[in-house]
Amino acid sequence: MARRPDEEYDYLFKVVLIGDSGVGKSNLLSRFTRNEFCLESKSTIGVEFATRTLQVEGRTVKAQIWDTAGQERYRAITSAYYRGALGALLVYDVTKPTTFDNVSRWLKELRDHADANIVIMMIGNKTDLKHLRAVATEDAQSYAEKEGLSFIETSALEAINVEKAFQTILSEIYRIISKKSLSSGEPAPANIKEGQTIVVGASEASTKKPCCSSS
């Protein structure tokens, strides 16, 4: 299918941004897609959406990112967006321990609604607020290891590690995808129509395996 040059890409990866309200999901997204940060941002109602095309492992990848409202009641709407997502960025606020405690609830949410082999990365955001830090890096690190998640700390405000966080999860998704298409002998699923998402192992997804081999 012919596309204009600015829309050319090898892969389209759908990623969801989840986590408690106020942890900085929308600003991580705007930092990544537009290199913007807004101190006076409004709370997200429902879902927001943005994309960015970038190079991952030498391939052109379009990241299609869904930013969701964090308040629990909104899950009635937002959980529908987990379907077909290849990655999830699960964000907490390093200055608010409750948002870290709730990570386990978000993981359960993903297990209930997302594809079983979704790649999950835990992000501790707001590292710029050094004097207010209340979640130690080591605690988060060991929790991430226990749950089999990737982990990184970021500051959307100071633009620290944001690029790296997205690069890492997209690379991880890419590795899984390319391994899949290699083992199944299919050609890499390039040139998909816009709006479609590659779903890894859709058949396996329905068997509801616990995600990411916990403990």
Partner 1 sequence: MERRRIDDYEPGPVPSPRPLDRFGFVKQERSSSPERVIKSRSTVEFEREERRVRKWRKMIGVGGSDWKHYVRRKPHVVKRRIRKGIPDCLRGLVWQLISGSRDLLLMNLGVYEQLVIYETSASELDIIRDISRTFPSHVFFQQRHGPGQRSLYNVLKAYSVYDRDVGYVQGMGFLAGLLLLYMSEEDAFWLMVALLKGAVHAPMEGLYQVGLPLVQQYLFQIDHLVREYLPKLGEHFTQEMINPSMYASQWFITVFSYSFPFHLALRIWDVFLFEGVKIVFKVGLALLKYCHDDLIKLPFEKLIHALRNFPEDAMDPDTLLPMAYSIKVSRRLEELKHEYEKKNGKLVEGEESDRKLKQPQ
Binding interface with partner 1 (CB under 8 A): 7, 21-22, 40-49, 51, 64, 69, 71, 73-74, 76-77, 80, 194-196
Name which of 129 and 176 has its Cβ closer to partner 1: 129
b/e for 205-215, b at 16 or more Cβ within 10 A?
Answer: beeeeebbeee
Name which of 4 and 184 has its Cβ closer to partner 1: 4
Tally helices (H) and strands (E) across the chain. Answer: 7, 6
Name which of 36 and 145 has its Cβ closer to partner 1: 36
Q: How far is the CB of 153 from partner 1 (least distance, A)?
A: 21
Name which of 80 and 136 has its Cβ closer to partner 1: 80
Burial status of residue 143 (CB atoms within 10 A of its CB: 0-12, 13-18, 19 or more): middle
Q: Which of 90, 86, 92 is CA-nearest to residue 114? A: 86
Q: How far is the CB of 185 from partner 1 (least distance, A)?
A: 29
Q: How far is the CB of 59 from partner 1 (least distance, A)?
A: 19
Rounded to whole angstroms, the Cα distance separating 124 from 140 reads: 8
Q: How far is the CB of 184 from partner 1 (least distance, A)?
A: 25
At 166 the three-state DSSP class reads helix
Q: Within 10 A of 91 (CB to CB), how many other CB atoms are there?
A: 27
Q: How far is the CB of 31 from partner 1 (least distance, A)?
A: 17
Q: Which of 145, 141, 139, 150 is CA-nearest to residue 15? A: 150
Name which of 22 and 189 has its Cβ closer to partner 1: 22
